[in-house]
């Protein structure tokens, strides 16, 4: 059975961090990877998404971080965890921000001894078929970004205005923060947990969308090697979009503060 917990009490896992030391004759140890899904009203997508993740790689573990979704997403997640030891749930008391949810997943991965933590949207905007490319890139990088803005990446169906605004925000963040990445705002990423251990999360000021730019900023400052692999970003299949344009605009101010701090 999987685990279910609240943010004040995260249960200890039974499995220990495996040593990477091996003899030349031994079989390579596969890194332990945790996929984090930050959810709010995603009951229509969650079961199918977790099944699709495991179709890609049966060894992947999943942590659902639910912000007390009124549609019962948390209860659905608990049922999935009860039936599958690879699924875990972290319940939060309310909508505390996408950034803090993503950070909670990172801290969980650090505490429980995973090798990689891979964050993705819970609405199929980030398709699990891109997971193998992200994991493959971890051989040479500490952070791999599923990028809409490198060759081969795309955002089909987006109107011109949305494309231009997104490109402008990414260029703004890249220039101010001096982060060597084309896609600074996308959330589909894989992080080396040992590298996240070098980041002082107490200094993180973002609670919402700007967390994506800020964590790249701190990872780059900590000496992490950043890489990108192309993805096709697909608009959600079911449910309502969570985009909050006022929060997205407020993120510009946070990026400016970080740029000045740099």
- CATH number for the domain that contains residue 103: 3.90.550.10
> From the CB of residue 210, how many other CB atoms can be counted at a distance below 10 Å?
28
Confirm whether 2 is domain-assigned.
no
Query: Total structural domains in the chain?
Result: 1
Q: How far apart are CA 189 and CA 135, in angstroms?
A: 10
**Segment among 45-49, 140-144, 234-238 with least mean pLDDT:** 234-238
Q: How far apart are CA 34 and CA 108, in angstroms?
A: 9
Confirm whether 8 is domain-assigned.
no
Confirm whether 161 is domain-assigned.
yes
Confirm whether 136 is domain-assigned.
yes
Domain that residue 206 falls in = 30-261
Q: For the chain, give the mean pLDDT.
A: 89
Residue 242 pLDDT:
55
| Mean pLDDT on 36-58 | 98
> From the CB of residue 158, how many other CB atoms can be counted at a distance below 10 Å?
15
Confirm whether 11 is domain-assigned.
no
Which tens digits make up the pLDDT trace of 81-126?
Answer: 999 999 999 999 999 999 999 999 999 999 999 999 999 999 999 9
Where residue 2 falls among pLDDT bands split at 50, 70, 90? confident
Confirm whether 224 is domain-assigned.
yes
Where residue 10 falls among pLDDT bands split at 50, 70, 90? very low
| Mean pLDDT on 242-247 | 64
Which tens digits make up the pLDDT trace of 54-66?
Answer: 999 999 999 999 9
Which tens digits make up the pLDDT trace of 176-233?
Answer: 999 999 999 999 999 999 999 999 999 999 999 899 999 999 999 999 999 999 999 9
* Residues counted in the chain: 262
Burial of 70-93, coded b for 16+ CB within 10 Å and e otherwise, reads eeebbebbbbbbeebebbbbbbbe
- Decide the pairing of beta strands 61-66 and 33-39: parallel
The first and second tokens of residue 46, run together, are: 């969650």
Which residues lie below 8 Å from residue 117, measured CB to CB, with a gap of 6+?
Answer: 33, 34, 35, 36, 105, 106, 109, 190, 191, 193, 196
Asked if 1 and 85 touch (Cβ cutoff 8 Å), the reply is yes
Ramachandran assignment for 15, one of left (phi > 0), alpha (psi -120 to 50 degrees), beta (any other): beta
Asked if 4 and 91 touch (Cβ cutoff 8 Å), the reply is yes
Confirm whether 17 is domain-assigned.
no
Task: For the full predicted model, state whether its pTM sits above 0.95.
Answer: no
Confirm whether 165 is domain-assigned.
yes
């Amino acid at each position: 059975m999987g685990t279910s917990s609240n943010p004040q009490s995260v249960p200890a896992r039974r499995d220990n961090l495996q040593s990477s030391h091996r003899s030349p004759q031994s079989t390579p140890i596969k890194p332990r990877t945790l996929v984090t899904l930050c959810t709010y009203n995603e009951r229509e997508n969650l079961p199918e998404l977790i099944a699709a993740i495991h179709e890609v790689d049966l060894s992947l573990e999943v942590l659902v971080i639910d912000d007390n979704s009124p549609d019962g997403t948390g209860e659905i997640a608990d049922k999935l965890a009860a039936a599958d030891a690879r699924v875990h749930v972290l319940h939060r008391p309310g909508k505390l921000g996408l950034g803090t949810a993503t950070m909670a997943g990172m801290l969980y991965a650090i505490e429980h001894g995973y090798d990689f933590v891979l964050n993705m949207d819970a609405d199929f905007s980030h398709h699990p078929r891109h997971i193998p490319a992200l994991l493959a890139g971890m051989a040479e990088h500490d952070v791999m970004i599923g990028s809409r803005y490198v060759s081969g990446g795309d955002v089909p169906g987006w109107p011109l205005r949305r494309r231009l605004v997104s490109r402008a925000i990414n260029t703004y963040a890249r220039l101010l923060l001096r982060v060597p990445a084309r896609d600074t705002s996308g959330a589909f990423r894989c992080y080396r947990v040992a590298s996240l251990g070098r980041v002082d999360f107490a200094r993180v000021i973002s609670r919402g969308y700007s967390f994506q730019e800020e964590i790249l900023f701190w990872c780059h400052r900590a000496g992490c090697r950043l890489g990108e692999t192309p993805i096709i970003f697909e608009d959600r299949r079911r449910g309502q979009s969570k985009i909050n344009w006022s929060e997205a605009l407020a993120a510009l101010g946070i990026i400016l503060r970080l740029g000045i701090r740099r």
